[in-house]
Structure 1
Amino acid sequence: MSSIHELATLTSKGQITLPKSIRQALGVDTGGKVAFELRGGEVVVTRAEFEHEDPAIGAFLGLLEADIRAGRHLQSLPDDLARAMLANAGHAVNLDEEIDGEVAL
């Protein structure tokens, strides 16, 4: 890969805009994720690698979380389940983790 040298200005909010040539070199676009790693006195920026997520499912889960946080759609749920859902909203889930206890489908 050829060397690219660009400058960016830090805003009062601590934000920068990645120059177009850097975005193109990393292969990121609007909504893309980048990772920052501090190595000594240098910051290394790389494209963040995430598992593919279906945008429709992500959007649906976002709407569902917003409804739960706003207290909507919880009237028919048992209070302990609604509290558990609210307490765990936004927490990472390991789908490979073993399930404790019995599960009825």
Structure 2
Amino acid sequence: MSARIYKPSKTAMQSGRAKTHRWILEFDPEEPRTIDPLMGWTSSRDMKSQIHLRFPTKEAAIAYAEKHGIAYHVHEPHERAPRRVAYADNFKADRRFPWSH
């Protein structure tokens, strides 16, 4: 029984960074998923794959895993590099791309 600890990335459906500040502990699958021959649905007998524990910090998630004897591996987040752009830059005379009209 092992788990991974990670910080979720921003979804493509949102412009903000809501729900990306917490760390998640998620168990690795112990059994492979199977395909139901009648309906074609993907199913699993692994109940731990449904558990997602949320923590405010990485240290809290690691402390929980160590307290309960869970082997874990941490995936560090890739921080984005913010790019500051002013609206007035669209109208500069020395634009990199000339106007198309």
TM-score normalized by the length of structure 2: 0.22
Larger radius of gyration: 2
Identify which of structures 1 and 2 has the higher relative contact order when contacts are C-alpha pairs closer than 8 Å and 6+ apart. Answer: 2
Bigger proportion of residues as strand: 2
